[in-house]
Amino acid sequence: MKVAVLPGDGIGPEIVAVAAKVLARVAPSVELEFGDVGGAAFDKFGHPLPTTTLDLAKRADAVLFGAVGDWKYDALPRALRPEQALLGLRQALGLFANLRPAILYSELEAASSLRAEIVSGLDILIVRELTGDIYFGTPRGRRMAPDGPFAGAPEAFDTMRYSEPEIERIAHVAFRAAQKRRAKVTSVDKANVLESSQLWREVVSRIHAAYPDVTLEHMYVDNAAMQLVRAPKSFDVIVTGNLFGDILSDEAAMLTGSIGMLPSASLNAAGQGMFEPCHGSAPDLAGKDRANPLATILSAAMMLRYSLDDANAATRIESAVKEVLAQGLRTADIAHLGEVAVGTREMGDAVLRVLENEART
């Protein structure tokens, strides 16, 4: 098994270095090959996703990705901005399903933005469609508004679009995931207003017929945003489109205390995937040994489970993360008043120590 390791920008190299060590510890036979991506690749090769990196990702069984982006690239044309590397990898690898678990560890209940009784025990999974929707819809562009009260004024437009097969395959992913969890899917759309959402709702309902053991409910996105903070534990699996999923998954992230705790998996039809923390490159923390590496370590666990077929190693990593939290280790983002924060490397070393001790006993 080969893993392409793409650290990227900002805190990417620090958190990926730690996660790669953890991966090597639990799965020593997995071959890790490093590549450049994002702003780091632009600086070296003049492109955020050089052909060598793309080839490496295509040849690998899975990709471990750090984060890309920095304000210093803001003036570049859109096609050369670091974030384009992510879109390029998703498209080239056909990664259409983004799985984002939002789990609140009992040790971190106080770090959540909500009261403990509302979030305690939270364990939800957001399944976000990744290759369609307004981010990729055509036509898009700028023009002079042809009509309406602002006719003749400059305007910009993007088109939200979904095809039936795109909705079918993401619905299957959500229903299958729910079968392994609490057997409930909430499909989130805006079918009261949007034509593409009406199609979404029809197709998800049709696919549901093949999963009689799973309960399906439909919810408008505005209500879903509200319910996520009112009664988040009423959800099990949420399936939604690219734009709504982008927003709702960040909202869910905050329920768990810190975006520094949340892993994600992006999968294609063959089970090949890219695994990355939900957060960005946090340029404010770069090079300071202050970033929380746990989201990236937990992404490596998801990689073992979903792409490398080693659920046992995945569980070992997840248990080690729980153990270091139980021991009281906290990076600054999850530390509370009076708690001493440890750095990125020290948190990683603590996870490695737990794995080592466990191997000895």
Nearer to ligand NAD (CB atom), residue 70 or residue 189: 70
Which residues are CB-neighbours of 320 under 8 A, at least 6 positions away?
22, 351, 354, 355, 358
Q: Which residues of 176-190 are buried (b: 16+ CB within 10 A; e: fewer)?
A: ebbeeeeebbbbbbb
* Active-site residue (options: 43, 105, 135, 349): 135
What residues are paired with 185 via a beta bridge? Answer: 216, 237
Distance (Å, whole) CA 330 – CA 109: 13
Note whether 296 and 263 are within 8 A (CB): yes
Q: Write the CA distances from 308 to 130, 213, 300, 311, 345, integer angstroms.
A: 21, 28, 10, 8, 26
Nearer to ligand NAD (CB atom), residue 232 or residue 277: 277
* Active-site residue (options: 222, 284, 288, 309): 222
> Least separation, in Å, of the C-beta of 216 and ligand NAD?
30
Distance (Å, whole) CA 244 – CA 222: 10
Other beta carbons within 10 Å of 168: 13
DSSP string, 73-133: GTTS-GGGSTTHHHHHHHHHHT--EEEEEEE--GGGGGGSSS-HHHHTT-EEEEEEE-SSG
Distance (Å, whole) CA 203 – CA 211: 13
Which residues are CB-neighbours of 196 under 8 A, at least 6 positions away?
133, 160, 161, 162, 241
> Least separation, in Å, of the C-beta of 202 and ligand NAD?
32
Quick one: tokens of 277?
A: 């923390």
Residue 284 among the catalytic residues: no
Nearer to ligand NAD (CB atom), residue 67 or residue 243: 67
> Least separation, in Å, of the C-beta of 312 and ligand NAD?
26
Nearer to ligand NAD (CB atom), residue 243 or residue 285: 285
Note whether 237 and 251 are within 8 A (CB): no
Residue 222 among the catalytic residues: yes
Nearer to ligand NAD (CB atom), residue 264 or residue 307: 264
> Least separation, in Å, of the C-beta of 177 and ligand NAD?
21
* Active-site residue (options: 43, 246, 289, 349): 246
Nearer to ligand NAD (CB atom), residue 118 or residue 286: 286
Distance (Å, whole) CA 111 – CA 259: 11
Nearer to ligand NAD (CB atom), residue 88 or residue 185: 88
Going by their DSSP bridges, the two strands 237-240 and 184-189 should be labelled as parallel
Other beta carbons within 10 Å of 68: 30
> Least separation, in Å, of the C-beta of 247 and ligand NAD?
12
CA atoms 233, 235, 238, 243: torsion sign: negative
* Active-site residue (options: 133, 162, 190, 310): 190
Nearer to ligand NAD (CB atom), residue 118 or residue 335: 335
Residues of this chain that interact with ligand NAD (CB under 6 A) are 11, 67-70, 83, 86, 259-260, 276, 279-285, 291-292, 295, 333
Distance (Å, whole) CA 359 – CA 270: 32
Residue 246 among the catalytic residues: yes
* Active-site residue (options: 43, 123, 158, 250): 250
Catalytic residues: 135, 190, 222, 246, 250
